[in-house]
Amino acid sequence: MASLFVFPVSSQAVDAGSDSAFDCAAVNEENPDTSEQLANQLLQQTWDIDRLRCGAELLIGVADERAEDPAAQLNALNANAHYAYYLDRIILYDLGHLIVWYVDDVPSEQLVSEPMQALQRSRVQQRQLLERARTTHPNRVELDYYDALLIGAQAPALTLLKPVVSEDPQRLRGAAHALLARTYYDLPDILGGGLAKAIDAMQAALERDPLDARYLRLLAGYRLDDGDRQTARELLLQLANLDVETAGLQLKADQLRAGADLAMRMGDNALQTRLANTRARLLEDHPKLLSRKVVSAMGHFGTNDPRADGE
């Protein structure tokens, strides 16, 4: 689960380009003195993986130039994690059906391979950024969060995350609590996991960033697993009514889809319809958003990847 920290955008406009044939080098060359501002604008466009990659590359470049600046290092780590999250969504939602339905079809494997290779390159670069930041700024507790993010929802992540949530750095805005919740949820009790712990941690994440659609939907799922259908329904209604800024539009669209699946599990047809219709209007109002069209093995609109219910 990658941090979706919303990067601040300066009021001074920078042309980040609007055509589909995006050239990162050309755009950066046109704005050589505003790399950070340009990167922040690009990172808002979460439906466009090329712009996300460019934004991450620009902030990584700034971090390379300012190795002694902890903010530059943390911004680069966050931008790269932000890019990797949405790249993973493309693999999961938009290409995942190719892996399931056409696993023996060589052209399909080739189609999937480049995004997967890009994700691997991003992870390698993230590890390099993290190692450099630990050398220059070893006392920044946020680095333990990014380390846990690379580990994933496994027991060693708990050891890293607990000091982070204890210190509760403001710049993470609940992301460490959310990753801790996911880790608690995925791990069995004997390894330190547990549903009650997951609920508490995700509630804490939501309190720190109430506009993160993912936290709302995940907490709704946890509450439903705990038998609390009423609270789960209230959280899904909050999701439907959530007013997000540009950077949160794609995330909200994705979570509305997952929320509709939760409503179906609850047998609440009215809520399922409301969430689906809200998502349809969102996609209509913002045609650049990715629709995530995936057909599952059961023949209904959904995903074949079990990660989709927990990310």
71 and 187 assigned to the same domain: no
More confident residue, 91 or 16: 91
106 and 156 assigned to the same domain: no
Q: Among 155-164, 205-214, 297-306, which is the least confidently predicted range? A: 297-306
Last residue of a domain, one of 177, 209, 241: 209
40 and 172 assigned to the same domain: no
102 and 56 assigned to the same domain: yes
Q: Is the pLDDT confidence value at 302 over 60?
A: no
151 and 30 assigned to the same domain: no
Q: Is the pLDDT confidence value at 145 over 90?
A: yes
9 and 115 assigned to the same domain: yes
pLDDT at 286: 93
pLDDT at 91: 78
Q: What is the pTM of this model?
A: 0.83
pLDDT at 9: 32
Q: What is the mean pLDDT of residues 224-233?
A: 97
Q: Which domain holds residue 264?
A: 211-311
pLDDT at 246: 78
pLDDT at 31: 65
133 and 165 assigned to the same domain: no
pLDDT at 275: 97
**Domain count of the chain?**
3
Report residue 300's pLDDT band, with 50, 70 and 90 as the boundaries: very low
Question: What does the pLDDT look like over 187-212, one tens digit per residue?
Answer: 999 999 999 999 999 999 999 999 99
Q: What is the mean pLDDT of residues 86-114?
A: 59
Question: What does the pLDDT look like over 116-133, one tens digit per residue?
Answer: 888 889 999 999 999 999
300 and 243 assigned to the same domain: yes
pLDDT at 294: 52
Q: Is the pLDDT confidence value at 50 over 60?
A: yes
pLDDT at 33: 60
6 and 126 assigned to the same domain: yes
Last residue of a domain, one of 91, 117, 137: 137
Instruction: Provide DSSP, 23-42.
Output: -HHHHHHHSTT-HHHHHHHH
Last residue of a domain, one of 209, 237, 259: 209
299 and 240 assigned to the same domain: yes
114 and 132 assigned to the same domain: yes
First to last CA, the chain: 6
Q: Among 68-82, 95-109, 134-148, 151-165, which is the least confidently predicted range? A: 95-109
